[in-house]
């Protein structure tokens, strides 16, 4: 039934921001339960694409379908979790209070705050006021909010930026586990070494998808030793400059 519909289907998406084109005809599909990476340098359009997926971005043309519905449909509200790049939690509430507040707004089960706080490894900080958390802890509270209600699609904008390698590893393990349970994840990063942890990568540059495939196939197709090298070769193939 629903599972035959891709989690996300984007066709010829064009977006203009500040009077300038920033996405030029993006197209891709994400299967249910897949872990898709959106990789590319700062300013290439990752956040804009994610905004279109959650339905807050005005688009110039093209279609964005999420779980079979037009992006941003009211019916999708509880089915899609979004963690913005800048943490959006209340500084004067504790971790637990933030999560209980957002759970109430979303109509998520009462047991959810306890579940998500453990999933992101913040159990010890449950009663700490958010304003006093470290950057990495704040990032994890932000992620925990997105996990409330067990959404079918998670859109996570640079969720591992600023985290130490151990935490990054733990979060990628959590993403993998969620995908294993059938959640679809779209995770952006500008750090190439994270790319290898995904099932599939969209390599973006300047508002376009340079390549779309499994990390291993991108590496072998370009003959590069690593994904950073693959990215550089793809740019050169296209006749672009790396400057």
Ligand X SMILES: Nc1ncnc2c1ncn2[C@@H]1O[C@H](COP(=O)(O)OP(=O)(O)O)[C@@H](O)[C@H]1O
- Which stretches of the chain bind ligand X, using CB under 6 A? 17-18, 22, 40, 42-48
Query: Which partner in ligand X, Mg ion, none is near 18 (CB below 5 to 8 A by kind)?
Result: ligand X
Instruction: Provide the 3-class DSSP secondary structure of residue 28.
Output: strand
Q: Which of residues 173 and 228 has its CB atom nearest to ligand X in the complex?
A: 228
Residue nearest ligand X by beta-carbon distance: 18
Residues that bind Mg ion (CB under 5 A): 46-47
Q: Which of residues 160 and 222 has its CB atom nearest to Mg ion in the complex?
A: 160
Q: Contact at 8 Å (CB) between 213 and 221? A: yes
Nearest distance from C-beta of residue 23 to ligand X, angstroms:
8
Burial 135-151 (b: 16+ CB within 10 A, else e): eebbbbbbbbbbbbbbb
**Residue 182 gets which letter from DSSP?**
T
d(CA 203, CA 163): 22
Q: Which of residues 130 and 156 has its CB atom nearest to ligand X in the complex?
A: 156
Among 117, 123, 173, smallest CA distance to 147 is for: 117
Nearest distance from C-beta of residue 221 to Mg ion, angstroms:
27
Look up residue 205 and give its two tokens: 């540059």
- By 3-state DSSP, what share of the chain in percent is helix, strand and coil, each rounded to 5? 40, 25, 35
Among 200, 207, 166, smallest CA distance to 184 is for: 200
Residue nearest Mg ion by beta-carbon distance: 47
Q: Which of residues 46 and 100 has its CB atom nearest to Mg ion in the complex?
A: 46
Nearest distance from C-beta of residue 119 to Mg ion, angstroms:
24
Nearest distance from C-beta of residue 56 to ligand X, angstroms:
12
Q: Which of residues 14 and 17 has its CB atom nearest to ligand X in the complex?
A: 17
């Amino acid at each position: 039934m629903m599972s035959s519909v891709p989690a996300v289907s984007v066709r010829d998406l064009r977006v203009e921001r500040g009077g300038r084109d920033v996405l030029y005809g993006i197209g891709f599909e994400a299967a249910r339960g897949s872990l898709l990476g959106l990789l590319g340098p700062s300013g290439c359009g990752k956040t804009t694409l994610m905004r279109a997926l959650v339905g807050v971005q005005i688009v110039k043309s093209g279609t964005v379908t999420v779980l079979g519905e037009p992006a941003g449909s009211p019916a999708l509200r509880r089915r899609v979790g979004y963690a913005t790049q800048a943490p959006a939690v209340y500084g004067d509430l504790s971790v637990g209070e933030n999560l209980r507040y957002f759970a109430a707004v979303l109509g998520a089960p009462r047991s959810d705050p306890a579940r998500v706080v453990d999933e992101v490894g913040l159990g010890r900080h449950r009663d700490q006021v958010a304003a006093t958390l470290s950057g990495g802890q704040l990032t994890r509270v932000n992620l925990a909010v997105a996990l409330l209600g067990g959404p079918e699609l998670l859109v996570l904008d640079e969720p591992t930026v600023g985290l130490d390698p151990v935490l990054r590893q733990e979060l990628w393990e959590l993403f993998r586990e969620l995908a294993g349970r059938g959640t679809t994840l779209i995770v952006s990063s500008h750090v190439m070494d994270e790319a290898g942890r995904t099932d599939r990568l969209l390599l973006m540059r300047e508002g376009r998808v340079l390549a779309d495939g499994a990390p291993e196939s991108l590496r072998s197709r370009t003959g590069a030793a690593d994904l950073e090298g693959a990215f550089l070769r793809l740019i050169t193939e296209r006749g672009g400059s790396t400057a």
